[in-house]
Chain A
Amino acid sequence: MLELLFGNSIIEEVLFFLLANERCYASQLRRLFQTPIYSFQLALDRLENGGVVVSRREGRTRVYQFNPRYPFLKELKAFLEKAYQFLPEEIRQRYYEPVVRTRPRRKGKPL
């Protein structure tokens, strides 16, 4: 939908994912979109170099989020939110709003 504007579909996928989920990491995106991890790593590097996202290490994983200091964040999110509404429900649920547990589970609690 926005790939012509962003230059590729991977950037669009990353930005929509962050909009819906606030955080992401490359292997998570690879699993969801079934696309080589290298594509997401390149896209995340590009966004980080541009100041759009920031990352930090959590254990062995590099986790990304929108950079709250990005001067155009409010406008970018407004634009993404508008575009997100145009995505078919099925696409949103499959890729950006997967039904997975993200709340904490107490250590030692049986599954």
Chain B
Amino acid sequence: MIDWANLSLQDLAGIVSEALKKNGIDTVLVGGACVTIYSENRYQSHDLDYVTYDDMRRVTKTLEQLSFIRKGKYFEREGCPWFVEFVSPPVAVGNEPIREFNLIETAWGTVKLLFPTDSVKDRLASFYYWRDRQALEQAVEICLSQVVNIAEVKRWSIQEGQKEKLDQFMKRLNERKRER
């Protein structure tokens, strides 16, 4: 029996990912939920963002079996505090497609999601293009909690033409490391 009201975001991801997988629907968890998982809840997202190449009618049918109702691109369920959203493919950061994904096990199933390094790039993209400082802090949080390939983050940032903002990120990351 699922206690929907007190479910963690990670557990909901396990339930949703597993249900979709059982119906042959491949998904990747992206966005803020990855930050929640990788920052060990120091940042709390309010929804699950998925990418799928599958037909949304099949996705809708599967989620309806879990009592999620579709409202445009969002799905919500009575008693569940989290939303589920499907964002347009492809899975990419900047100009680069992402082809390899992490798998994490939850009590309810396996979740396919961005690797921490790609999640950092995803957050930094919001900082680079929208000057979103919350996204910058989220990128830093992931780096403090997970193994992240900083050389790859640097390479990608320079490729995106964001050397100056990359320097700001590195400065902030080093400040946070010194605080610990």
* Chain A residues within CB distance 8 Å of chain B: 49-51, 68-69, 71, 74
Q: Taking the complex as formed, is B95 at the interface, i.e. its CB lies under 8 A from any CB of chain A?
A: yes
Q: Taking the complex as formed, is B88 at the interface, i.e. its CB lies under 8 A from any CB of chain A?
A: yes
Q: Do the beta carbons of A71 and B90 come within 8 Å of each other?
A: yes
Q: Taking the complex as formed, is B92 at the interface, i.e. its CB lies under 8 A from any CB of chain A?
A: yes
Assuming the contacts A68-B129, A69-B125, A69-B129, asked whether A74 and B95 have C-beta atoms less than 8 A apart, the reply is yes
Contact of B88 among A49, A68, A74 (CB under 8 A): A49
Chain A minimum-CB-distance residue to B92: A71
Chain B interface residue count, CB cutoff 8 Å, equals 12
Name 11 A/B residue pairs within 8 A (Cβ), A-sorted: A49-B73, A49-B88, A50-B88, A51-B87, A69-B94, A69-B126, A69-B129, A71-B90, A71-B92, A71-B94, A71-B95
Q: How far is the CA of A51 from the CA of B87 in the complex (A)?
A: 8
Chain A residues whose C-beta falls within 8 Å of the C-beta of B92 in the assembled complex: 71
Q: How far is the CA of A60 from the CA of B90 in the complex (A)?
A: 32
Q: Taking the complex as formed, is B97 at the interface, i.e. its CB lies under 8 A from any CB of chain A?
A: yes
Closest 3 CB pairs of A and B: A71-B92, A68-B129, A51-B88
Q: How far is the CA of A49 from the CA of B94 in the complex (A)?
A: 18
Chain A minimum-CB-distance residue to B97: A71
Q: How far is the CA of A96 from the CA of B7 in the complex (A)?
A: 51
Chain A residues whose C-beta falls within 8 Å of the C-beta of B129 in the assembled complex: 68-69
Which residues 51-94 of B sit at the A interface, judged by CB distance below 8 A? Answer: 73, 87-88, 90, 92, 94
